Structure 1
Amino acid sequence: MLARSLNLGILAHVDAGKTTLTERLLHTAGVIDEPGSVDSGTTRTDSLSLERRRGITIKAAVVSFPLDDLSVNVIDTPGHPDFIAEVERVLGVLDGAVLVLSAVEGIQPQTRILMRALQRLGVPTLLFVNKIDRSGADVDAVLASVRRRLSPHVLSMGRVEDAGTPAATFTGFRPDDRRFRERETAALAEHDDAILACYLAIGAGPGPMLQAELARQTRAGLLHPAFAGSAATGAGVGELMRGMATLLPATAPLDDGPPSGRVFKIERSAAGEKIAYVRMFTGSVIARSRIALAQGRTAKVAGLQLFTDGRWVRTDRVGAGQIGRLTGLSRVQVGDAFGRADTTEHQFAPPTLEAAVAAVDPRQEPRLQAALAELSDADPLIAARLDDDARVVVSLYGLVQQEVLTATLSEEYGIEVEFSDATVVHVERPRRVGSAIERLNTETNPYHATIGLTIAPGDPGSGVRFVTEAPARDMPLYLFKNPTAFSAALERHVDRALRCGLYGWAVTDCVVTLTDCGYSVADGPPSRRGPTSSSVDYRQLTPLVLHQALQRAGTQVCEPVLRVSLEVPNDDVAAVQRVVARWGAEVLAQTTRDDLSQMELRLVSTRLHQLQLQLPDLTGGEGTLESRFDSFEPVRGAPPSRAARALTTSR
């Protein structure tokens, strides 16, 4: 019988000690002889050389250790804001999380962002106040700040002694500790009327009832038990592990029912083979079985691995609740789900920057394109593509991500690259209705097919809709099984053509209608006589006709407008308001709680990165910023242009 599985995320602001904590957990569980060091680059999870040089986590990593009857899969996640997409992908596969805070620095900007993400997705979360052995450590002050800034529903699970010294310790409260039981009862009573009645009657409930209710509320995300300690010395880590085992939800390995899971990470082996990290939700996946992916894609599993005894080992089955590495899925992408896995979309804002990247040695350009196509599998938000000058363009969140790409291309692919200055991504919308048609056997049509298309404006945010009005009798059904298959093929050609509009940006919020079609045959009437039409004719002719229709419709370039949430100290609100007002931001709401103010505003994305750069100086490093896409709005003044087409991959 397989052990129960607990898939645990460890999250923190940069340098709060989450990677060190992961090493300490592995050591305490007996998986490794000595904890690795971030400073010396010997940790199990920060395997990239750039991670070791910078002392930060860039890619999610998975390790595992046994705990009672649990197999705990620890997912060490990035802490830098440029990699928030990597964090969000991981959150969707977690059973629970540990949010690490520093006992010295306390709540830091990324801590607040991560906690809000955990709360939004309902991930059960324990708190671990790290670095109690450092000078200036003050756990009580940190927890008081947590209650003010993150959540009032926090329960301290023990006491710290000798804080700020190498001898600092954390001792968990005993269940029969009267004062702890009273605090526990009061915290639980906030969410349970029966506990409240018990609290009003006798002041504290019986121990077993309180322990069961504490676990229930923690698993429901209603309460956050708080532990403290030092990942460097091991103080308090044992108590934290006991909290993981008793308070967080684990998954039993039920093998019945169809398999379902989600791919949350992709990497390449030394031989270039694609490796997919999969969280199984139900059923089991076995070697040589086939799984159905999105958009009609299927894949055959060639091999399976589980993390056991400090390393990945081959297995013949990965069951519900487990995390496995699958090989053979050549067409899989990050985020792909199969079976009945939850298909909830991530809430983070897409990248709003893009930059051209070129190989320092021009002879390596083909290798660069192939490398970026592979990296786009691991991170689809990179969205590598070619412009009309055959330059490769990638999407970015920020400069640290650009540095990571540069280092990855150099160290893993042997390609030295240079980036151009980043620019903001725009889109185009049709201004009016435009139509075009190219008929068979005419001077302007070099292909053996007839295509007529009309493009019309759609509602803002509606995307692209394809409609077929051409009669089925005019469709080349000898090439396609039925009219639906022919329409689907034309829709794919239209989607590709709309990736580059009149100004080079993707065209969206429109309705494209197939009004006419036709094919030629050797023995047909004069108007349709000629070489038999092929699928290539329709693939080549469709973008030509669509471009003609688009020229007649005209397009309007629109820039992304973001909804930005700011959290700044009250004393700095006026300075921030002055800056965003100069940029034309629309302030939607402003509230104040204790020493912090929350501001909601709409801001064009061209200003977002300036705000990110200035916010630390404006707020003494205390301000936080979250953004999400709100809408596209017409550009004022001369529209920027860009000519780019998609970079094809091996799929």
Structure 2
Amino acid sequence: MHTLNLGILAHVDAGKTSLTERLLYTAGIIDEIGRVDDGNTQTDSLALERQRGITIKSAVVSFALDDVTVNLIDTPGHPDFIAEVERVLNVLDGAVLVVSAVEGVQAQTRVLMRTLQRLRIPTLIFVNKTDRAGARYAQVLRDITERLTPHAVTMGPAVTGLGTRDALSGAYADGDPRLTSRLTDLLTEHDDALLAAYVDDGGALDPARLLAELAAQTERALVHPVYFGSAVTGDGITALTGGIKELLPAAGDDADGPVSGTVFKVERGRAGEKLAWVRMFSGTVRTRDRLEFGQGPGAASEGKVTGIRVFAGGTDVDVPSAGPGQIVKLRGLGDIRIGDAVGDTRAVGTGHHFAPPTLESVVVPVPPASRGELHGALAQLAEQDPLINLRQDDMRKEISVSLYGEVQKEVIQATLADAFGIGVTFRESTTICLERPSGTGSALEIIDKDDNPFLATVGLRVDPAPPGSGVAYRLEVELGSMPYSLMRAVEETVVATLGQGLYGWRVTDCTVTMTHSGYWPRQSHSHAVFDKSMSSTAGDFRNLTPLVLMAALRQAGTTVHEPMHRFRAELPADTLGPLLPALAHLRAVPGPPSVDGSRCVLEGEIPAAGVHALQQRLPGLTRGEGVLETAFASHRPVSGPVPQRSRTDHNPLDRKEYLLHTVRRTGSGGGLA
């Protein structure tokens, strides 16, 4: 048996959970198809998922297609839970992107398709809801080729009975000229040998060769077969399952290689133990194995596997071992986190594929006395979704979380109430900005000079770097000029300190270079034990580095950037006039409108802070006919007053305040705290 890890992705309400139910029913895993509206589907197990009829957490269920074991992963469609989708993308062999035949290509559909293409994930497109009133065929195909991919090929003729319960999606026979003609045009674009064969054969290619090449180019994510049907009636499902089996690639099977996998989900078991969901890429993991895990070389931890569960027959079962291609739940690795590599920690990369959250909100416990319990509960939620990024302000005794949207607040609120018995409210969401250096700055503190109270010499230079490059750390001193532990302390502290710049926002797109270093070697008085007051420790460097770095950053200066979203609004042309002042009020920058008869399309950029307000106001401004798509675009410098964020550190910008918190010296030069 081969294994295929298959993702089902879509814009919210396109019908991907219903498609999951139909695939499980067709495979004999379930005896009755659940309905999202009734809250009885296999993969939506959370109470809030059943109440709202949306997927919030990814779920895995396994079934067989002849000699292929499919691990089907149902993912959220709502943009507020895009982080859950991101983690799933790292473990997929292929995907089915679901498009609604009624609504057509929607905002989230485009975001998902762009990401699937960028990651070269083989993808089939399933146009669902052909049985619904308002379903379209030709227009949806045009939408797919114009707004998703020009390399789409429909695998059957037009749907008959479109928009009724009798809708029927046919399938082309292998030699049907309507299929072979389109395949010839599409596939020869990417294969010169196939084009040469077409010319040599007098303008005809063997249908079997075309189908083999279709599978090869689908595997390389060059083309995207399109199927029509209905998850509710089951129409088109046979053709789709045939495409899944024949056109999507199975996972590798290097069972004897080194253990290598990646963690894409973490949850807690009934006894509170941590369970890591791992996609295995190679090797075999066994119960009682000791495994390394972590994110990159030098960052590995180790733990003993005390239990393994794999997905089979619609559930998960205990097994003594698991191999490549499988998705497993590992028990016993207590410190493991989402994004960790398992086994060979250098082998698996899990880069970010979507923009980070652009909103944050303060979580307020009800009653206030439950603040301590709240922090512990949110820490557990952060294990399951690291991008909520807890931020604790000890001075104000507040905890903030990062968000993609307002629906996330409801989910966190319900989860805290149901799972932990903690009531919370949220303050109004604010935008998360970032800072970029405006120029170059440097600073230096030398041991035993001026008012440096730490036994360390640190010199740092900050230089701006291209947008999107992140933070780089460099050395202009010899690596052996002081012990590695001290070097490492400086580097780690630089990264941590850049979490709050001159205005309190995270600093990015810069290069920090260590220009000077110095320390006092380990020493003691005669016949005495080690004396910390005479010897440099990592603590000296961790305490001094923020002062040096922020002095360099102050000299360089920083510019605060706010997140911007691209928007595309379709609306009646006669409502453009009332919309433009509203956009100006929200600081949006629209481009020239495109008018086609009575319809108008307007594209541009809008600050993330204004997206929610625009979504609320658009229906009233466009008689309910306006359609809005938004997606993160970039960060741009803030115009007007610079927003500041309250600090949660000891404020190294204020030397006196900082030293009061970090230095504990006696008059004779006592040790450091």
Q: TM-score, normalised by structure 1?
A: 0.85
2:409 paired residue number = 402
Native 8 Å contact 1:350 1:629 kept in 2:
no
Deviation at 1:104, TM superposition (A): 2.2
Alpha carbons of structure 1 residues 604 and 101: separation in structure 2 relative to 1, 3 Å? closer
Structure 2 counterpart of 1:154, which letter?
A
Q: For each residue in 1:408-451, what CA deviation from the matched residue of structure 2 results, as whole angstroms up to 9, or x when unmatched?
A: 11112221111111112234567875757596799995xxx523
Deviation at 1:45, TM superposition (A): 0.9
Q: Which of 99, 102, 127 is matched with 1:101 structurally?
A: 99
Deviation at 1:558, TM superposition (A): 1.3
Q: For each residue in 1:534-564, what CA deviation from the matched residue of structure 2 results, as whole angstroms up to 9, or x when unmatched?
A: 85853774367458847975964613344x4
1:625 paired residue number = 630
In structure 1, the gaps of 5 or more residues are 476-482, 647-651
SS of aligned partner of 1:538: helix
SS of aligned partner of 1:170: coil
Structure 1 counterpart of 2:433, which letter?
H
2:666 paired residue number = none
Native 8 Å contact 1:453 1:545 kept in 2:
no
Q: For each residue in 1:597-649, what CA deviation from the matched residue of structure 2 results, as whole angstroms up to 9, or x when unmatched?
A: 69565x55444554555567778453322214446x36643542312259xxx
**What is the count of residue pairs matched by the alignment?**
628
Answer with 105-114 or 425-434: which moved more. Answer: 425-434
Deviation at 1:215, TM superposition (A): 1.3
Q: For each residue in 1:354-389, what CA deviation from the matched residue of structure 2 results, as whole angstroms up to 9, or x when unmatched?
A: 111121122321221112222222222111021121
Identity of aligned residues (%): 42
Distance in 2 of aligned mates of 1:341 and 1:617: 52
Deviation at 1:570, TM superposition (A): 8.8
Distance in 2 of aligned mates of 1:34 and 1:199: 48
Native 8 Å contact 1:466 1:491 kept in 2:
no
Q: CA RMSD in A?
A: 3.8
Deviation at 1:22, TM superposition (A): 0.3
1:293 paired residue number = 294
SS of aligned partner of 1:271: coil
Structure 2 counterpart of 1:644, which letter?
T
1:4 paired residue number = 2
Q: TM-score, normalised by structure 2?
A: 0.82
Report matched runs for 1:17-166 at 5 Å: 17-159=15-157, 160-166=159-165
Distance in 2 of aligned mates of 1:139 and 1:636: 48
1:256 paired residue number = 256
SS of aligned partner of 2:464: coil
2:326 paired residue number = 322
Q: For each residue in 1:7-34, what CA deviation from the matched residue of structure 2 results, as whole angstroms up to 9, or x when unmatched?
A: 1111111111110110111111011111
Deviation at 1:266, TM superposition (A): 1.6
Alpha carbons of structure 1 residues 569 and 517: separation in structure 2 relative to 1, 3 Å? same
Native 8 Å contact 2:486 2:537 kept in 1:
no
Native 8 Å contact 1:440 1:520 kept in 2:
no
Structure 1 counterpart of 2:292, which letter?
I
Alpha carbons of structure 1 residues 353 and 145: separation in structure 2 relative to 1, 3 Å? closer
Q: For each residue in 1:158-188, what CA deviation from the matched residue of structure 2 results, as whole angstroms up to 9, or x when unmatched?
A: 3433333323333322224444444444443
Native 8 Å contact 1:354 1:425 kept in 2:
yes
Deviation at 1:48, TM superposition (A): 1.1
Structure 1 counterpart of 2:370, which letter?
Q
1:357 paired residue number = 363
Answer with 584-593 or 195-204: which moved more. Answer: 584-593
1:480 paired residue number = none
1:373 is the counterpart of 2:373: no
SS of aligned partner of 1:393: strand
1:224 paired residue number = 224
1:649 paired residue number = none
Report matched runs for 1:449-460 at 5 Å: 449-460=454-465
Q: For each residue in 1:216-253, what CA deviation from the matched residue of structure 2 results, as whole angstroms up to 9, or x when unmatched?
A: 22222222222222211222212211111111111242
SS of aligned partner of 1:275: strand
Distance in 2 of aligned mates of 1:265 and 1:297: 18
Deviation at 1:87, TM superposition (A): 1.6
Answer with 97-106 or 156-165: which moved more. Answer: 156-165
Distance in 1 of aligned mates of 2:142 and 2:241: 23
Q: For each residue in 1:271-326, what CA deviation from the matched residue of structure 2 results, as whole angstroms up to 9, or x when unmatched?
A: 22222222222223333231342151223233221101111011232222221112
Answer with 63-72 or 316-325: which moved more. Answer: 316-325
Native 8 Å contact 1:559 1:604 kept in 2:
no
Answer with 503-512 or 403-412: which moved more. Answer: 503-512
1:283 is the counterpart of 2:286: no
Structure 2 counterpart of 1:379, which letter?
D
Deviation at 1:469, TM superposition (A): 5.6
